[in-house]
Amino acid sequence: MLIRVNLNGTIVPAAEARISVLDHGLLFGDSVYETLRTYSGRPFLLSRHFGRLKHSADGIHLKLQWTRDDVRREVQRTLDSESRAGESRIRVMVTRGPGELSLDTETTADPSLIIIVVPLQELAHEIYERGVAVIVSSIRRSRLLADIKSGSLIRQVLAFSETKSKQAFEAILLTEEGYLSDGITSNIYLVEGNRLMTPSLEAGIVEGITRGVVLDLARSMGLDVIEGLFPGNELDQADEMFLTSTTREVVPIVSVDGKTVGSGKPGPVAMALLKSYRASIAGLLEEG
């Protein structure tokens, strides 16, 4: 797989990209990140992703030394460094930087901006046509700092391995109190009649960029959007379910822990939202 890396402004082959073993990003997961994708080779909603990166950095008191335009320029340079057909997945991360073997952030000096670009593995059409099976993970999500996309992802690593061992597509995480939160790397939605329900920020979710677009589309389609705290057993009531994320767009969910959701087929709301999400991409690309 072709991997392009931009390490503090220098584009290097992945095998030669080196950071210090004393980088607090490596030692403590003391870093923040974003995952973006391209459409027609162009980064999608970079400004919104930068806004969330800034929010995450502020949340861990990490001063970003790069402006939105700096990040946009470096992402573009990385994309331009190799011509390749197909879309890209882009990870933008900022680590605390090298310091002492101590939790003290004041021992660190220079944060690193690391951009990694890999070919985007797009989902097969059949996945959208048939829908996916998900599980409820045994791993719970803490609501504390949940809105910060930090490099401390051990719960997600374990939930991913559990999901893979059960041959599921994604796992839904409950909060420690048993409320629905989000997927491992996606937001989740339940449809009941004309109501579109999705966990609120209070439920310890990452405020998905895709979620923002999809909720606007849902409102304009006349759905009654309800963001709130929903107990885990709300899953049993849903007529349909779906998930969203940057790289996967809108994916219908047809079973949870082996139990069929609604008709067992992708629901009309999910399919309508997928269609209008894709129709809105060209316009949103202009937003930059």
- Out of 63, 149, 166, 259, which one is annotated catalytic? 149
Question: Per CB under 6 A, which region of 17-25, 93-101, 130-138, 202-210 contacts ligand PLP?
Answer: 202-210
Q: Which of 95, 198, 245, 255 binds ligand PLP (CB under 6 A)?
A: 245
| Structural tokens at position 57 | 């950095």
- Identify the burial level of 181 via C-beta atoms within 10 angstroms of its C-beta, where 0-12 means exposed, 13-18 middle and 19 or more buried: buried
Active site residue 63: no
Binding to ligand PLP (CB under 6 A): which residues in 155-184? Answer: 182
Q: How many CA atoms lie within 13 A of 181 on its CB side?
A: 25
Quick one: CA dihedral 56, 58, 60, 65, positive or negative? positive
Q: How many residues bind ligand PLP (CB under 6 A)?
A: 14
Among 88, 186, 198, 255, binds ligand PLP (CB under 6 A): 186
Is residue 132 a contact partner of residue 86, using CB atoms and an 8 Å limit? no
* Minimum CB–partner distance for residue 201 and ligand PLP (Å): 11
Residue 85 carries which DSSP code? S
The residue within the footprint of ligand PLP, chosen from 56, 175, 210, 255 (CB under 6 A), is 210
Instruction: List the interface residues with ligand PLP, window 118-157 (CB under 6 A).
Output: none
Q: Distance between CA atoms of 241 and 192, rounded to whole angstroms?
A: 9
Partners of residue 197 on adjacent β-strands: 190, 226
Q: Is 88 in the site for ligand PLP (CB under 6 A)?
A: no
CB of 259 to ligand PLP, least distance (A): 23
Active-site residues: which are they?
149
